[in-house]
Amino acid sequence: MIRKIAVFTSGGDAPGMNAAIRAVTRAAIVNKLKVTGIRRGYQGMIEGDFVALRSSDVSGILQLGGTMLQTARSDEFRTAAGREQAYQQLKKAEIDAVVVIGGDGSFTGALVMSQEYNIPFIGIPATIDNDMYGTDYTIGYETALNSVVEAVDKIRDTARSHGRIFFVEVMGREAGLLALTSGIACGAEVILIPESNEQHIELEKFLHKGYKKKETSGIIMVAEGDEAGGAMKIAEKVRNEHPDLDVRVSILGHIQRGGSPTAKDRVNATRMGVAAIEALLDDQKSMMIGITNEKIVHVPFNKAVKLNHSIDNNLLDIHKLMNR
């Protein structure tokens, strides 16, 4: 019997996390559940940094970026002693079930803890990387994509004016989807992502033939996690090999993680927040709420975190076609 739930945000923040906190809180209250917010992710769980949430406490946050509960990456929670302390804090606060809003790391932590202690966890995927298996969509990705496109359009203006080649680094330590889709949206000439090596050949072709023949500017999107080592390193190599080219680097950084969530991120965060409470009331546990083909789906944590989210090769093909 669930009487009181906790909700928290964990890992890298993502625009729309607040919308999810609001939806979880309000859906729980409508179903006569009490709600506790845990501040600062798993670290706050270990330290008992809890706050009671009423419907009015989540008023006015729907449109705000970041997370009102703050977030953290907690090394202590990776230890058995840290998780034991976290469990004791949950018991003390009489929490019967937990909703975790985060990415693959956060769900791995939830899976480990639910194997050790009898407490149900439901996950809501929120990461700008959109790298979770079993869902087409993670909260924050759409907003980040639009932020990248807005920034790169501006870079294109100055690149064209000077006839320069820009290496633009986009976030994604292990995931290239944001670089790939923003690259397509901005008409990038080349896109370098960790999931595919082939694009380095495209870069060589572009530098040797394409640029010199017909281009007035070049945008090379580089995912942070590309194996050649990020935009700085690649640009340095290109400068050495092609001293005639005017090369610049722009690392977009954490502006990609901030800002007011797009309408789609708000709507999907609200849908997933409500679905998370419904899943708990339906006695589900260790389950991620996802959205596939625009429908809510339930994906067991062990699948969501262990299976790889692959890149759609069609997107790579489409990009290639545009730059023939």
Ligand X SMILES: Nc1ncnc2c1ncn2[C@@H]1O[C@H](COP(=O)(O)OP(=O)(O)O)[C@@H](O)[C@H]1O
Ligand Y SMILES: O=P(O)(O)OC[C@H]1O[C@](O)(COP(=O)(O)O)[C@@H](O)[C@@H]1O
Least distance between ligand Y and beta carbon 292 (Å): 20
Least distance from C-beta 314 to ligand X, angstroms? 26
Using CB under 6 A, which residues numbered 17 to 46 contact ligand X?
Answer: 42
| Separation of alpha carbons 231 and 227, rounded Å | 11
Q: How many residues bind Mg ion, per CB under 5 A?
A: 3
Contact 92, 48 (CB under 8 A): yes
Read off the DSSP letter of residue 220.
E
Q: Does 304 bind ligand Y (CB under 6 A)?
A: no
Query: 188: which residues sit within 8 A by CB, 6+ positions away?
Result: 152, 168, 182, 219, 220, 221, 319
Which residues lie closer than 8 Å to 314 by C-beta, 6 or more apart?
none
Residue 30 annotated as part of some ligand binding site: no
Q: Which of these segments, 6-14, 146-154, 212-220, 278-286, binds ligand X (CB under 6 A)?
A: 6-14
Counting residues that bind ligand Y (by CB under 6 A) gives 12
Give the residue numbers annotated as catalytic, written as ranges. Answer: 129
Give the residue from 90, 30, 89 showing the smallest Cα distance to 54: 30
Does residue 104 belong to the site contacting Mg ion (CB under 5 A)? yes
Least distance in angstroms from the C-beta of 75 to ligand X: 7
Nearer to ligand Y, 89 or 182 (CB): 182
Burial class (CB in 10 A: 0-12, 13-18, 19+), 71: buried
Q: Which two tokens stand for residue 117?
A: 């202690």
Of the two residues 62 and 112, which places its CB atom closer to ligand X in the complex?
112
Distance CA 67, CA 200 (A): 37
Answer yes or no whether residue 15 interacts with ligand X by CB under 6 A.
no
Least Å distance between CB 170 and ligand Y?
Answer: 8
Selected from 15, 37, 109, 134, the binder of ligand X by CB under 6 A is 109
Residue 251: its H or E element: strand 247-251
Of the candidates 185, 104, 123, 118, the one whose C-alpha atom is nearest the C-alpha of residue 151 is 185
Euclidean distance between CA atoms 28 and 222, whole angstroms: 42
Q: Report the C-alpha dihedral over residues 185, 255, 259, 157, rounded to 10 degrees.
A: -40
The C-alpha R_g of the chain, in whole angstroms, comes to: 22
Q: By Cβ distance, which residue is nearest to ligand Y? A: 12
- Known binding residue 67? Answer is no
Give the count of residues interacting with ligand X (CB under 6 A).
17
> Any idea what the Cα angle at residue 153 is, between residues 152 and 158, rounded to 5°?
90
Site string for ligand X, 119-158 (x = CB under 6 A): --------x-------------------------------
Does 40 sit near ligand Y (CB under 6 A)?
A: no
What residues between 148 and 207 interact with ligand Y by CB under 6 A? Answer: 171-173
Is 256 known as a binding-site position?
yes
The CB-of-55 to ligand X minimum distance in angstroms stands at 27
Is 269 annotated to bind a ligand? Reply is no
Please report, as ranges, the residues that interact with ligand Y according to CB under 6 A.
11-12, 103, 105, 127-129, 171-173, 224, 257
Please report, as ranges, the residues that interact with ligand X according to CB under 6 A.
10-12, 42, 73-74, 77-78, 102-106, 108-109, 112, 127
- Which residues contribute to the annotated binding site for substrate? 127-129, 164, 171-173, 224, 248, 254-257
